[in-house]
Amino acid sequence: MTAPTASPARRHVPRLRAATLTYRVLVRQVITPGRLAALGALGALMILVGWLVGITAEDGGRSAAGLLRDGAGYADGFGLIIIVPIVALVFGSSVLGETREDGTLVYLWLRPMDRGPVVVGAAAAAATAALPLTVVPTALGGWLAADRVAGSADLLWGAVAAAALGTAAYSSLFVLVGLLLKKPIMWGLGYVLLWEGLAVGLGDFAARLSLRGYTRSVLSHLGGIDYGFDPYTTTTALVVLAAVSVAGLILAAIRLNRLDVA
């Protein structure tokens, strides 16, 4: 009688493959018709209101410089303060938070893989879902609010960059929140509405702890026009937004590594 042979050890999943696998699984799970409908409606509202703002400004005989400031202020006040963080919150907090709560996260552990690539794949899935719903309304709404005057193309591309970078940073931050807290949407909304909406007006120190100040600086500088709200240089804003994105991923990986997802 022959002795039973030992089962071969499972091969560790390479990091890139683990991140890709996680992304493919979670991007399908996080994008739901309900979320697309609700957040798409919010974005459509911003575009519609921006168009109405542009028409009203045109009838009022505003100068081109005034229209550009109006468009930038609208992209900041509606897009960067409301659309970008709220959409990133919905997708970022749910991409791992919901899978942990309903027990489906354990299926990512059926093959041996590090937690870091799982977090990277999850954040990429959240950002993929969020980007079209943040960039398009913010850029198009600001452009329409400026009534498409000369120079509004720069405003358009500045809004694209600011919304995209802000979405990436918020997505990483809210992936971490989704792993740390129960009911992350409630806590995240409190942060977005009470802190991000008010911090810039509370003084320089408070503004430095808010992502809004950095995203609006990107909008101002890359737009090529002095909108009157550019406290940081482009380099400073880009470095801080990138640092927040990386720090969020690292802390989320540490948190996930300490969780029992079985």
DSSP, residue by residue, 82-117: IIHHHHHHHHHHHHHHHHHHHTGGGGGGSS---HHH
The CA-based angle 142-223-249, given to 5 degrees, is 85
Domains of the chain: which residue ranges?
15-257
**Chain segment 54-80, per-residue pLDDT in tens:** 888 766 667 777 888 888 889 988 999
> Rounded CA gap, 149 and 113, in Å?
52
The CA-based angle 163-220-75, given to 5 degrees, is 45
- The separation between the first and the last C-alpha atoms of the chain, rounded to the nearest angstrom, is 38
Give the per-residue pLDDT at 183. 84
Global pTM?
Answer: 0.87
- Cα 153 to chain center, whole Å? 23
Give the per-residue pLDDT at 56. 83
Average pLDDT over residues 228-256: 88
Give the per-residue pLDDT at 48. 95
The mean predicted confidence, pLDDT, of the chain is 84
In this prediction, residue 105 has a pLDDT band, given cuts at 50, 70 and 90, of: low
Q: Are 133 and 32 in contact (CB under 8 A)?
A: no
> Rounded CA gap, 244 and 231, in Å?
18
**Chain segment 176-232, per-residue pLDDT in tens:** 998 888 888 888 888 888 777 676 566 666 667 788 889 988 998 887 777 666 678
Average pLDDT over residues 135-164: 91
In this prediction, residue 152 has a pLDDT band, given cuts at 50, 70 and 90, of: confident
